[in-house]
Amino acid sequence: LTGTSREQRAFQYLLAHAIPGDPHHILQTFDQWCYHCEHLSCLGPDKGEWRIVERVLLDRAPLRVLELGTYCGYGTVLLAQGLPPGARLYTIEEDPRHAAVAEKVIRLAGFSEQTVELIVGPSEEVIPRLREKHGLMNANLVFMDHRKHRYLRDLQLLESHQLLAEGAIILADNILFPGAPHFLQYAKTCGKYHCKVHRTSLEY
């Protein structure tokens, strides 16, 4: 009835209740909205903030991170707040309406374009230009949280364009439900990766 999207309404809630420049509080406020107002397909605190993503960031301290599927910026803020000094995060969102919200969320959390670069466009078009147009030589960590049927295609695109650093980690969300079976089969059988499936709850 308001003529605004759920994502825009969530951002208005952030503006009213979150502390600008405080990524942790931005995420907590997002969680409050999703628990008590409207559901958004964000990572949520159970499988994101306190668990897998933060543990990988702490253990590996990646300097170059690529996120596929920005949505409204929750995962981006989570990743960015765990980056070591001098690191850079590239995040790709296909939907320009979601990207417009995400851009405001990322900047509200206090991250500049030097730390987080948001790229709008289909991943299959953006990935081949990451090196020449955006300066990403290779990624130490790739976080996949976009359309599940694109996981395998985009992983193979990253391989073919040599955008994965030696020892890179690929962290893929929701591979069991709604599921990315072809991606999972490839990762387990191609001989290039050591695989581990983390059992988690759905968001919120």
Between strands 88-93 and 116-120, the pairing is parallel
CA distances for 45 relative to 13, 84, 137, 144, 179, angstroms: 18, 21, 31, 17, 21
d(CA 204, CA 80): 21
- Residue 78: CB partners within 8 Å, gap ≥ 6? 23, 27, 43, 48, 49, 53, 54
Maximal CA-CA distance, the chain: 52
Residues classed as catalytic: 145, 148, 173-174, 203
